[in-house]
Structures are given as structure tokens and as C-alpha cells.
A = this chain, B = another copy of it.
Amino acid sequence: MLIVMKKGATENQIQAAVAAVKKRGYTARPIPGGDRVSIGVLHNKGSVDAAHFLGLDGVKEVIPVTKPYKLVSREFKQENTQVKIGEAVFGNGTMPVIAGPCAVESQKQVLAIAKAVKAAGAKIFRGGAFKPRTSPYSFQGLGKKGLEYLTRVREETGLCVVTEVMDVDTFDMVEESADLIQIGTRNMQNFSLLRRAGMSKKPVILKRGMSAMLQEWLMAAEYIMEGGNVNVILCERGVRTFVRHSRNTLDLSVVPAVKKESHLPVIVDPSHAAGVRDQVFSLACASAALGVDGIMVEVHDHPEEALSDGAQSLYPGQFADLMEKMAAIRTIIEAP
């Protein structure tokens, strides 16, 4: 159930509504919007009587919600959520680009790539310090050392950084270093990790699971929001299908589908979907034309020597070309 406050509702009125919800044994979760505040009523078993709240001062209306997700739902919050990281805003009609190598390999490597992607217009630098790898014998990332290299990237270039967190144990460490925390596709339903992310003050990118239904993905985001963290960015990165000409199948139709169901920003990672460089450029342009809230692309200065996913990384020169194309496409899409 959703309690929608009037436009001019005071902080006292909001707190009174929250108290009324709690008094009945439910959880109240205020959701700030541009114009007004709504209050999500959670953890109710069975239906809740709207009459309890309708008479309170400052309450405009009370809306029952039928979808299994609540806080992520557009029924709960009509206007787009905007997630701000440094000067980048996801969800306001711009399309910030996140770029960098799959894995942090050395201080020199990340600085070189960071400078290149910044020059091309990227707003956020990506690089994995903890790497989830199918094989225990593959390069597992530099760990803490990798986080330090990322910190230096921020200091030297001014770029914000995003990196993946793999478990609750290392969450504090990652949270401290990163401006934006990524939860990877294999952990989309690692509910303990989602709950921890829900308690973080840092925004979170939640990648779609390899075979996640739209509803499962939104429910995973609900876990994070239910914990109190409203800064969630959804990221489509391809799903597993019978297809063999690309590593995964990029499901672009999920973007308009998410935007219909949810107010959360949604970005696209064409690199992991494609798995091969020559599809990444095309799919990134296609994503830009779709009206996504951001793009995440892998860039490497020496992809042939990359310790992870080199085959799908763009060269810095290709990336600069791509940025120009995407910006031009974006202008067309945003034109009335």
C-alpha cells in the first residue's frame, strides 16, 4: 500500500503518517519525489485498511498495490528516480557513460585507460578488483590492491569509480573505495548481499541475472530499496539463450519494459552481452537509440594482453568514435 502525501505536506505530517503505519505493526518507508513524498507500507500480511490513514493531515490518497514489488514500482513513484554520482546523473534524460577495463591489472594500466576514456567523455571509470570467475584457476582480481589503484584513478583524473562487490565480507572495503558499487549478474539473487547493499549509503548498479525474468530483477532491486537504499541503477547485460553467435543475447526490449514498470534508471552493458568487439560498437549505438539512462563499456589499451575479457574490449580510439556517435544519436532521440 502507498500513502501519497499532499504537495505541501510538512515534515511533521509525514512523520505522523509514518508513526501511524508503525503503530499498526507495519514498516513505513518514505519515498521522496520531486513534488511530493509518498510512504510505502511494507510487511503487511493481507490487505491493509486504507481508512486508517486517509483521515490524517497532509495525506492526499492511499493506493493499494497489486504488483509483488512495491518500492521499485512506478505505481509507487511516478517520476523517474535520478541517481547522482559526481557530475553524472542517471535518470534525468542524459546518458552518462561508464568505461574502463574488465579487471584492474596495474596502476599504470588503469591510469592510462582512465585518462583515455575521460578525454573521450566518460563520466565514471569501471574496473574490477574482485572478479567472479567461472574457474578457480583464472585470475581472481587484485583485491585490496586493486581498490587502491582505483582510488588513485579518482585522485588523478577526477573520475568517479565503480567496482564490483562479491560478498558481504569485503563489502565495507569496496564501499569505502567506490563511488558506485556493482552487484554482478551471478549475485543478482544473493539475497544476503542485496540486504547489505540496502544498508549502504553508496548507490548500487544491479546487473540482471543471466536468466532473470523482469519481475525477479525488480524484486532483487526491491531487496535493496527495502533496506533503505533508494539509489539503485538497473543494468541489462545480456541473457542466456540458445544462440551461439554472441556470448549472451542482449535483450533491449527489457529497457522499455523496465521503464513502464519501474521508476529506476536502467543502463546497458553491451560488452558482456556481445563477448566480441565487433558487435559492441553496433550494440552500443543501438542502446543509445533506445533511450537508455546510461551505457557501460569495456575499454582496454592493450586488449590482446588483458587478463580478462580482452576480446570484447574496445580500443581507446574506437571508444572515442563511439562516444561521438552515441552523443549524436542521443540528441535525435531526445528531440521532441
Name A's B-contacting residues (CB within 8 A): 42-43, 68-70, 132-137, 166-169, 186-187, 189-193, 209-211, 213-216, 219, 222-223, 226, 239-246, 249-257, 260, 273-274, 278-279, 282-283, 285-291, 325, 328-329, 332-333
Contact = CB atoms under 8 A, between A and B. Distances in A.
A186 B190 contact: yes
A283 B278 contact: no
Contacts of A136: 191, 219, 222-223, 226
Copies of this subunit: 4
Given A243-B254, A329-B329, A332-B325, A219 B278 contact: no
A11 B68 CA distance: 55
A210 B191 CA distance: 16
16 contacts: A68-B134, A69-B135, A132-B189, A167-B192, A167-B193, A187-B190, A209-B210, A211-B242, A239-B241, A241-B241, A243-B251, A249-B249, A256-B282, A289-B329, A325-B332, A328-B332
Nearest to A245: B257
B273 A282 contact: no
A130 to B, nearest CB: 9
Contacts of A133: 191
A298 to B, nearest CB: 16
Q: Which 10 A-B residue pairs are closest in the complex by CB-CB distance?
A: A289-B289, A211-B211, A167-B192, A286-B286, A245-B257, A186-B189, A246-B253, A285-B289, A211-B240, A328-B332
Contacts of A186: 189-191
Contacts of A285: 289-291, 333
A244 B213 CA distance: 7
Nearest to A70: B137
A206 to B, nearest CB: 14
A12 to B, nearest CB: 29
A213 to B, nearest CB: 6
Nearest to A214: B245
Contacts of A209: 210
B166 A191 contact: yes
A223 to B, nearest CB: 5
Contact of A290 (B42, B132, B222, B286): B286
Contacts of A289: 282, 285-286, 288-289, 329
Contacts of A253: 243, 245-246, 249-250, 273-274, 279, 282-283
Contacts of A216: 134
Contacts of A189: 132, 134, 186
Given A167-B190, A211-B240, 20 more contacts: A68-B134, A70-B137, A132-B189, A134-B216, A134-B219, A135-B219, A136-B191, A210-B210, A211-B211, A214-B243, A214-B245, A243-B251, A252-B283, A253-B273, A253-B279, A257-B279, A282-B289, A283-B290, A286-B287, A289-B289
A211 B213 CA distance: 12
Contact of A241 (B249, B288, B329): B249
